[in-house]
């Protein structure tokens, strides 16, 4: 009886040493660990490739440049005011058009900060969400206006304006 008790204790200790897993399960975990290392190496190489291709998103984030669109939910309404040489207004509840506009905003590339102001070439967008909250965006020519004193050059605003043209009857 003592021998079987000792064997049982030894068996339990061996199993506890490998997390209660059998030998084949331990080997499988080692394979996963090797795969995880391989994946990490590939991700690192990919990240380095992106840096070499001029991808500056992480540099911009570390420099304090904010993202234009951070909302996770899709808005249900969009008000658009185009204040160029004249004022033009439009609004929509069309989920497809709103989704297109949001995608275009997400695709806008943010450049360097600027102190340039433009008075006669502005776009104002106000997105309303299901809960009644709003996100407003302002653009002057090719500049994203975060607030009175914070502005960034942007690239890709032309695509957003093309999506919004039908709202104000300009195509």
Beta-carbon-side half-sphere exposure of residue 46 (alpha carbons within 13 Å): 6
Structurally, how many domains does the chain consist of?
Answer: 2
Cβ-based neighbours of 136, under 8 Å, separated by 6 or more? 124, 125, 126, 127
In a domain, 142, yes or no: yes
In a domain, 60, yes or no: no
Give the range among 34-38, 92-96, 114-118, 149-153 with minimum mean pLDDT: 34-38
In a domain, 62, yes or no: no
Of 149 and 1, more confident: 149
Residue 160 shares a structural domain with residue 81: yes
In a domain, 119, yes or no: yes
Residue 152 shares a structural domain with residue 86: yes
Residue 82 shares a structural domain with residue 51: no
Task: Say if residue 66's pLDDT is above 60.
Answer: yes
Residue 42 shares a structural domain with residue 97: no
Residue 40 shares a structural domain with residue 85: no
Residue 16 shares a structural domain with residue 83: no
**Which residue matches tokens 């690192």?**
44
> Which range of residues forms the domain containing residue 133?
77-168
Task: Say if residue 65's pLDDT is above 80.
Answer: no
Give the other-Cβ count within 10 Å of 123's Cβ: 20
In a domain, 68, yes or no: no
Residue 143 shares a structural domain with residue 84: yes
Residue 107 shares a structural domain with residue 142: yes
In a domain, 70, yes or no: no
User: What is the structure's pLDDT at 43?
Assistant: 53
The answer to whether the CB of 134 falls within 8 A of the CB of 147 is no
In a domain, 69, yes or no: no
Which pTM does this prediction carry?
A: 0.62
Task: Say if residue 98's pLDDT is above 90.
Answer: yes
Per-residue tokens: 74? 């899709």
Task: Say if residue 64's pLDDT is above 90.
Answer: no
Q: What is the largest CA-CA distance in the chain?
A: 98
Residue 81 shares a structural domain with residue 159: yes
pLDDT tens for residues 16-52? 444 444 444 444 444 444 555 455 555 555 444 444 4
In a domain, 82, yes or no: yes
């Amino acid at each position: 009886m003592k021998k079987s008790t000792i064997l049982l204790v030894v068996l339990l200790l061996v199993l506890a040493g490998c997390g209660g897993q059998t030998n084949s399960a331990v080997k499988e975990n080692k394979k996963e660990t090797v795969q995880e290392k391989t994946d990490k190496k590939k991700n690192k190489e990919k990240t380095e490739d992106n840096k070499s291709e001029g991808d500056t998103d992480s540099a911009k984030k570390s420099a304090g440049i904010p993202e234009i669109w951070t909302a996770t939910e899709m808005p249900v309404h969009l008000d658009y005011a185009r204040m160029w040489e004249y004022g033009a207004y439009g609004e929509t509840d069309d989920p497809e058009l709103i989704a297109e506009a949001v995608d275009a905003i997400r695709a806008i590339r943010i450049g360097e900060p600027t102190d340039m102001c433009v008075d006669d070439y502005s776009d104002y967008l106000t997105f309303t969400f299901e809960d009644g909250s709003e996100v407003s965006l302002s653009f002057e020519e090719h500049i994203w206006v975060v607030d009175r004193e914070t502005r960034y050059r942007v690239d890709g605003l032309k695509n957003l304006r093309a999506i919004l043209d039908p709202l104000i009857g300009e195509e």
